[in-house]
Each structure stands twice: as C-alpha cells, then as structure tokens.
Structure 1
Amino acid sequence: MRLSSKHLTLLILLAIVALAPLAFPSNFYYRIGALAFVNGLAVTGLVILIGFAGQVSLGHAGFAGIGAYTCALAPIYLGLHPALAMLLGTVISAGIAWLIGGPILRLKGYYLGVATLGFGILVSMVLANEVPITGGADGREVPELGLRAALKFIGIDLSNAQFWYAFTALFLLGGAWVASNLHDSAAGRALRALHDSEIAAGTVGVDVARYKLSAFVLSAVYASLSGSLLALMNKFITPDVAGFLHSVELVTMTVLGGAGSVPGAIAGATLLTLLPQALTALQAYEHMILGLIMMLVMIFMRDGLVPTLSRALRGRG
C-alpha cells in the first residue's frame, strides 16, 4: 500500500528525530535539537496562518510570551502544576486571539502586518514594565515540570537534555500531524481558497471571516505552546520571548523553509536554529554569512527550500 504524502512526511520526521541523536557527540546537541523543535512548533502554527490562510502576523511572539509567562506565574499565584499552567496559557492565548482576531483580520496587506506588530509590542511592553509581577527585564524563574523525575521513578532514566529533546519532539510531531491533516481536510481546502482569493472563496460559500479567525486562533495556540515549552526547558524567561525580533525570526523561518509546506517550515526553523551554532567559529562574519544565505535562498528559491528542492527532485525523476 502506497503511503500518502502526509504519512510519509511524519515518518521522515519521526526517523530524523529518532536517528539524529546517534550523531550527537554530547548532551549540548540534545538541547539545540530541542530548541529547533520548539521553534518548529511555533512555525508550524504560522504555516496554518500564512501558508494556508494567507494572513500575515508580525507579532506572533506575543502569544509565545503569554504561554511562557503563564507557566512562570500560574504556579506561584494560582498554585497550578506547570503542566496545567501550560494548558491555561494556551486557553488564554486562544481567547485573546479570538477577541482581537475579529477586528484585526478585517485589515489586509501591510495594515494587517502593522496591527499584529502592535499586538506583539504591547505584550512585550507589559511583560517588561510590570516589574512586581513579571520581574521586568530581569525575567522570572520557571518551576520545574517534574516529568523527568516521574519517568525515572518508573525506570526511564533520561538526562535533562535528553528528556527535553524527546518531550519537545512529541509536541512537534503532534503539531505537524494536526497541521498535515488540516491541509487535506475540507477546512484546509477552504483556508487555501482564502489564500488564493478571499472574494472567490466567499462566492463559493466559504465563511471568510470565520476561517480566517480559526486559523489565527489555532496558530496562536501553537505559539503559546512553543513559549511554554521554552520557558519550562530553560527554567527562566525574559520579555525577549515576546519581542519583535522573535516574531520576525519566526516569520523568517516560515518563509525560508516554505510557508505553504509543513515540512518546509520545520526545515526552515531547524536551519535557522542550527546555522548560528555552526557559524560561531567565524565570529565577526557569522551574521554576514547568515544574512547572505537567507538572501540567496529567497532570490533563487522563492517558494522556500523544501518546496523548491522537492520540485527539482521530482523533475529529475
């Protein structure tokens, strides 16, 4: 029986996650892998918003900040376990996305980009200025998740880095599975119709406002989960997680790998997570080379790395 493209994609992702540690010389690489998975989760959400629905967001790191700080503050002020705090962060992010999404998504083009940018800046400013609660620029400590100790109790002994590699990989694989299934569903076809033309989609019965809002809320949930995982993994968080530069970084990862492709966006997130580590030996030239690589990809691979390479391989075959 021939595998569908989405099942093949998930199997390839699973194989990479399982086999990559065989080449890791130290636990440090487990942490880099976990960071790539966290970024990949947020970027997968942006694929749904940008790649499927054709809506731009330059402030999505704001939702990551909400998820991260909920994990830091809810255990202190509400007495919640960090895992429940992570769930609460996704609910809060989804609720805020639903409230602001209606008016924001009526805008188009750069107006929409500026509006989402304003949201991200607002969240970042609140986190930086509410010093008694958030700790301001100094950040806040995040409580221990506690699952590693529970696994050790039942006989599964992982180091801290190995645990976070496996734990974040589960979230990335789950997020990729949801996004891939959405792509092939009736809702996914409606979203892609929006991407091509909102007017044409509306004429064939697509509820444009509802589908745009649904994509925005779902992508906010992905971003919130990525922020929560980052906070729990680092055990410390600062307002930078909600900053403008983080939002731009996430959008760049999405476009670099291929905004309309789930594996492409994950590849873009992985590449931009790993490249700075690989270029550290070049010191002063690190950012110049990184920028040059990004420019060349955008010039010669305008649809992103994975879609362009995939077409090239199919053409050669």
Structure 2
Amino acid sequence: MLKNFLQMRLKGLVVLAVIVLLLPLFFNNPFHYDLATQIAIFAATVVGLNLLVGFAGQISLGHAGFFGVGAYFSAVMTGTYGWTPLPTMLVAAVVVALLAWLVGRPILKLKGHYLSMATLAMGFIIAIIINNEGWLTGGPDGMSVAPFSIFGWELSSFNQYSLFGIEFGGDVAWYFFAGFLLLVAVWIAENIIDSPIGRALRSVHGSEIAARVVGVDTSYYKSLVFVVSAVYASLMGSIYAHFSGFITPHLASFEQSIVLITMVVLGGMASTFGVILGAVVLKLLPQVLADFQELEMMMFGLILMLTMIFMPKGLFPTLQNKLAERKRKKSEEQA
C-alpha cells in the first residue's frame, strides 16, 4: 500500500513536469508566460503553506508577511547595498526562518480563533513596518528591484532564439525557472510528507493530545513546519520581486494572505497538487471574468462560494474521489 502511495506521488510529480514542459506550446504572447510564471511562484508558496495548514492543521492569516519580507529584503539589499540576488535570497530565508521561529513558539501555543488572530496581527505588523519605513522600503509608493542573475547571467536579458517553434527570451527563461522551482518545492514537500516529520504533523492535526501521549513533541513540530512554510514564502517572495521588477506593500497585505489561504482551501487542504490547482484557478479566474467589468468581483465571489458549497474538500480531492468512484463502478459492472 505504501509502495502504491509513493508511486502515485511520483507519477504526480512527473505529470506536473510534463505539463510545465508542454504548456509553452499553447502560449501565444509574453503575457501568457508572465501569467504562468506568476502562477508557478504562488503555487510554490502555497505548497509550503499547505504543510502548515493542510497537514499540521495550524491556521495562518498573515503568511503574506513572510512573502513580503523576502521580497523587500532582496529588493533593499540588491538595490541599495549592491548584494547579488542569489546570496541575498538565501540570507533573507535565514532571517525569515529566525523570525518565524521566534514568533511561532509563543503564538502556536494558541488554538482556533486565538491562533488566527495572532497570525493576523503578525501579518499586520509586518505590513505596517514595510508601509511606514519609507526611507528604506519606499513606503506606499513601492520600490524597484534589480534584475535577477545567476553567476552574472540575467534571466531578463536571455538572448532570443527559436526551438521547436518557441521563441526563447527573457519571459520564457523566467517561466522555465519558476517552473523548475515549483517542481523542487513539490519534491521537497512530498519528501517531508512521507518522512517521520510528516507523520508527526498529521498526528498533530488529528489530535494534539493523542500525539503528546505517544511521545510527539507537538510544540517543536508545529514551530518547525511554521518555519518551513515561512521559508517557502520568503524564497518565492524574493523570486517574485526580481521577476516583477517593482514591488509595493500590497505583497505583505492582509488581502494577499487571504488569497494564499484561499488557494489552499479551494484546491484541497492536505493535497500538494490540489493547492497548485487552487493557485491556477485563483490566478486565472480574474482573467476569465475580466469581460464582466463591474460584475467581475461579484462573479468571482459567487464561483468561489459555489465551489466550496458543492466541493467542501476542495477541487482536487473531490475530482479524485469522483474518478475513483467511477472507476470502481466500472470495474464492478465488468465483474
């Protein structure tokens, strides 16, 4: 059974890799690459958040704060102090990890609504600091970000050439880089889930008291997964900052935190590939509904509400269950 479970996860990763490789065949302009890159970045972010919310059962309504810290740390250190992007991202991740550990130890002792309010307050504090410290962050006006480069090679200045009918340039290079990061994020998350750490997280989600009885250090594991999810957000925040070239405090806002948590819930909590689907849907819906103009937000909310009413477990788990049920009925009919 465990072998089949692991094979299913490996197949999922292979399918995702194939989708990432083949999607450019359907792209017609740079906007498609830009949108797909954003989806990959936010999908990788919520893959980390899902470890905290979906598997450990700990709510976070301020996770965009870590995303914003990663973005602004990279923007400030590369733009103002001349650091190179890659080391800056790693240092930002370490800073965010320390911040998440210090903040997480006390607030993760809370439960339910109290935990939600504590994480919400944390996000508000980070957003206020970014918004008010204009001398460093540019304040409400935002700030520009230096181009991303690896060993002196800038993604945005990738030379144009054609391969299999695809025009390769900076937008294409960014897409494949973000797609690669998404695959790495999924691979790491899947390994965590299948490890003793993942089993400890699921036990905390199931019953924290029972987990303590069998010897699980619940405080440690909750803090650990909080740190891991924060590092995911920080790294992707840094990547997003260099990709967009300009950032504003909105990245760390409450609204952005709600978008992230909605991606997890909509796609399916405790489902790595489900939250990726949630990110895809939530990023594509505004584009699909753009023609409705003033009705766009109302239609957007209605679709989300109906989805959660008729698919309370999320899109991916519901579709999985329906396909499994159809396959079972078909096999019974053949028998």
Tell me the TM-score range normalised by the shorter chain. over 0.9
**For the Cα contact (< 8 Å) 1:128–1:137, is it kept in 2?**
yes
Per the TM alignment, residue 269 of structure 1 is displaced from its structure 2 partner at its CA by 0.5
**For the Cα contact (< 8 Å) 2:156–2:173, is it kept in 1?**
no
2:29 corresponding residue in structure 1: 26
Aligned equivalents of 1:309 and 1:34: distance in 2? 25
- What letter corresponds to residue 60 of structure 2 in structure 1? S
Percent of aligned positions that are identical: 46
Residue of 127, 130, 134 corresponding to 2:130: 127
Aligned equivalents of 2:156 and 2:233: distance in 1? 27
Alignment deviations for residues 282-311 of structure 1 (CA, whole Å, 9 cap, x no partner) = 212211111111111111111100001101
1:112 corresponding residue in structure 2: 115
- What letter corresponds to residue 148 of structure 1 in structure 2? L
Q: 14-23 or 303-312, which moves further after superposition?
A: 14-23
2:219 corresponding residue in structure 1: 209
Q: Would you say 1:186 and 2:186 are equivalent positions?
A: no
- What letter corresponds to residue 99 of structure 1 in structure 2? L
Runs of 4+ in structure 1 off by over 2 angstroms are: 76-79, 146-153, 155-158
**For the Cα contact (< 8 Å) 2:156–2:170, is it kept in 1?**
no
Residues 14-53 of structure 1 correspond to what in structure 2 (within 5 A)? 14-53=17-56
Q: Would you say 1:148 and 2:155 are equivalent positions?
A: yes
Per the TM alignment, residue 158 of structure 1 is displaced from its structure 2 partner at its CA by 3.4
Aligned equivalents of 2:76 and 2:7: distance in 1? 43
Any unmatched runs of 5+ in structure 1? none
Aligned equivalents of 1:297 and 1:76: distance in 2? 43
Alignment deviations for residues 33-58 of structure 1 (CA, whole Å, 9 cap, x no partner) = 00101110111111100011000000
Aligned equivalents of 2:50 and 2:78: distance in 1? 31
- What letter corresponds to residue 113 of structure 2 in structure 1? Y
Aligned equivalents of 2:245 and 2:79: distance in 1? 14
**For the Cα contact (< 8 Å) 2:43–2:279, is it kept in 1?**
yes
Q: Would you say 1:57 and 2:60 are equivalent positions?
A: yes
Aligned equivalents of 1:273 and 1:151: distance in 2? 26
2:292 corresponding residue in structure 1: 282
1:171 corresponding residue in structure 2: 181
**For the Cα contact (< 8 Å) 1:148–1:158, is it kept in 2?**
no
- What letter corresponds to residue 204 of structure 1 in structure 2? V
Per the TM alignment, residue 122 of structure 1 is displaced from its structure 2 partner at its CA by 0.5
**For the Cα contact (< 8 Å) 1:62–1:243, is it kept in 2?**
yes
Per the TM alignment, residue 149 of structure 1 is displaced from its structure 2 partner at its CA by 6.8
TM-score, scaled to structure 2: 0.91
Residue of 296, 299, 303 corresponding to 2:313: 303
Q: Would you say 1:259 and 2:269 are equivalent positions?
A: yes
Aligned equivalents of 1:77 and 1:275: distance in 2? 37
**For the Cα contact (< 8 Å) 2:156–2:174, is it kept in 1?**
no
RMSD value, Cα: 1.9
Q: Would you say 1:269 and 2:312 are equivalent positions?
A: no
Residues 235-250 of structure 1 correspond to what in structure 2 (within 5 A)? 235-250=245-260
State the aligned residue count: 317
Residue of 206, 209, 228 corresponding to 1:218: 228
